[in-house]
Amino acid sequence: MTHSALRWRKLAGALALAVLGACAPRGPRVPTVPVVVIRDTVTSPTRPPRDTVSIPATPTADTAAFPEALLAPRVRVGLVVDTARIEITSAGAFSVLTDAGQEIASLGAGATATFTDAGGTITLASRTGASGGGPGGAGLRAPLVVRPAEQHGTLSVKGQAYRGELVVQDAPRGGLTVVNRLDMETYLLGVVPREIGNVQADVFEAVKAQAVAARTYAAIYMGRRSAQGFDVYATVEDQVYGGQAAEYALASRAVRETAGEIITYNGEPITAYYHSTCAGQTAAIHEVWNNAPIPYLVAVRDVDPRTGEAYDKVSSRFRWTERWTHDQLVGILNRTMADSLRGRRITRIHDMRVLERTASDRIRAMRLATDAGTFTLGKDRIRWILTPASRAGILNSSKFDVRLVREGGRVTEIVAEGGGWGHGIGMCQVGAMGRARAGQDYRTILRAYYPGTQIIDRY
């Protein structure tokens, strides 16, 4: 059987399951369909078009129109980690169950379930809408599952609505952790918009590239954070996940049209790092972090050969300037370099000078001379040391020049003039948009940023 025939046979089975599920009464959750991994086949550009399956214009978790969601693995997203108390509510009815499926409480639309850590057990209380199974109680054992009554219902945590179900479980160091458990494809509906932004149709191929990169990133992280009880954080620690509120039609369509696709190298999923702006040149992983070289995470010249201009030239961070007064930077360094200073205090900066650059023009080593000693800074860590005085966060990138302003021989101001936003490894998101505008499809874009890789259908 050909790969294309196998794929459409799987989708036909998934559609049949969806139709049966729509007719069946709400009952115990059916186990997830096992994932079929195709490791030895490269997806052909001539495979049957995905639009033979009806794709609705508005975002929805309707598996009849999105059958790959039935085949996708389940992702556990850490929404709230290690908290003493958490409230969960819903616009529709919902239930609280044990992990074995025994109902503890049935709550109506608009009700709030409050979970409180009680030193090894959980206390559950509810406000309004309680019926059937009762309002809960004390001495409950984690994990507890919170599930909407309707198949496509949502649950809200801290005012944010999420698809799937929520699991309230013990945090490794005490307290409670709330995990959103849902299929990979539905998870991506809330990731792609937060990572690529709300963009227009002219960069649709870049949005598809983002969807494949984000799916690949999540696939490689499945199980890596099991000690914490989930797979990925919902923040920049992994991928930003905004739940249902983040969704919009163009991004949802990109997820659906690439459903199941991941990037591989030698048949295995890659670590698909990506960033906002590379300023015309991405970075190799070993230039930025203390990692061994990786064949597909290398420096890539990101310039349109037809115009000689960088694909990401429209980024607001393509070129940037950051300034500090002498005293501002002294205060920052005493905080960000506390581990290196070991109780000493900087009161005077004498000099700052770039000693060595990487092949992608990022700083490999910088000499910082102060009255508390001389230090060598470099690689991506420099962004956490030279934090901006004008805003919260870290320095835009490690691709910059430094200039000192002196009066009477003493440093009075430090100016960094640079380009790019992020670590610079892997796909450049604004560059991908430029490539899309130049007519490149998402496969071409991904091959450019991850050389030597292949895209396969994983399910």
Placement of tokens 């036909």 in the chain: 12
Q: Other CB atoms closer than 10 Å to residue 118's CB: what's the count?
A: 14
**What does pTM read for this prediction?**
0.83
SS3 217: helix
Helix, strand and coil content of the chain, in percent to the nearest 5, comes to 25, 30, 45
Cβ-based neighbours of 317, under 8 Å, separated by 6 or more: 276, 277, 279, 396, 397, 419, 420, 421
Give the pLDDT band of residue 391 (cuts 50, 70, 90): very high
Sign, CA torsion 235/236/237/241: positive
Residue 312 CA to residue 280 CA, distance in Å, equals: 7
Cβ-based neighbours of 35, under 8 Å, separated by 6 or more: 71, 72, 73, 458, 459
HSE, side-chain direction, 13 A CA sphere, residue 408: 0
Give the pLDDT band of residue 34 (cuts 50, 70, 90): very low
Residue 278 CA to residue 299 CA, distance in Å, equals: 10
Which candidate, 405, 407, 404, 382, places its Cα nearest to that of 395?
Answer: 382
The per-residue pLDDT for range 172-209, each reduced to its tens digit, is: 888 999 999 999 999 999 999 999 999 999 999 999 99
What value does the mean pLDDT of the chain take? Answer: 87
**Do 232 and 210 meet the contact criterion of CB atoms below 8 Å apart?**
no
SS3 454: strand
The per-residue pLDDT for range 249-306, each reduced to its tens digit, is: 999 999 999 999 999 999 999 999 999 999 999 999 999 999 999 999 999 999 999 9
Q: What is the dihedral of CA 263, 426, 188, 313, to 10 degrees?
A: -130
**Do 318 and 342 meet the contact criterion of CB atoms below 8 Å apart?**
no
- 340-345 own/partner pairs: CB under 8 Å, 24+ apart: 340/375, 341/372, 341/373, 344/372, 344/373, 345/372
Q: Which helix (H) or strand (E) holds 3?
A: helix 3-23
pLDDT given at position 62: 53
Instruction: Annotate 361-398 with DSSP letters as a single string.
Output: S-EEEEEEEETTEEEEE-GGGHHHHS--SSSSS--S-S
Q: Other CB atoms closer than 10 Å to residue 421's CB: what's the count?
A: 24
Cβ-based neighbours of 315, under 8 Å, separated by 6 or more: 276, 277, 279, 421, 430
β-strands 103-107, 130-131: how paired? antiparallel
Q: How far apart are the first and last CA of the chain?
A: 16
pLDDT given at position 30: 27
Domain boundary assignment for the chain: 1-18+35-73+185-310+421-459, 85-174, 320-418
What residues pair up with 178 in beta bridges, in sequence order?
Answer: 80, 168
Q: How far is CA 177 from the centre of its chain?
A: 19
* Token duo for residue 30: 């059916």
Amino acid present at 441: D
Which candidate, 375, 318, 321, places its Cα nearest to that of 350?
Answer: 375
Q: Residue 155: phi, psi to the nearest 5?
A: -125, 145
Q: What are the angstrom distances between the C-alpha of 124 and each of 79, 163, 166, 416?
A: 19, 22, 15, 53
pLDDT given at position 66: 67
**Do 61 and 148 meet the contact criterion of CB atoms below 8 Å apart?**
no
Give the pLDDT band of residue 136 (cuts 50, 70, 90): low
Q: How far is CA 105 from the centre of its chain?
A: 33
Q: Is the pLDDT of residue 8 over 80?
A: no
Which candidate, 44, 13, 34, places its Cα nearest to that of 456?
Answer: 44
* CB-neighbour burial class of residue 383 (10 A; exposed 0-12, middle 13-18, buried 19+): buried
The per-residue pLDDT for range 229-249, each reduced to its tens digit, is: 999 999 999 999 999 999 999
Angle between helical axes of 249-257 and 184-196 (0-180°, round to 10): 130
Q: Is the pLDDT of residue 29 over 80?
A: no
pLDDT given at position 135: 52
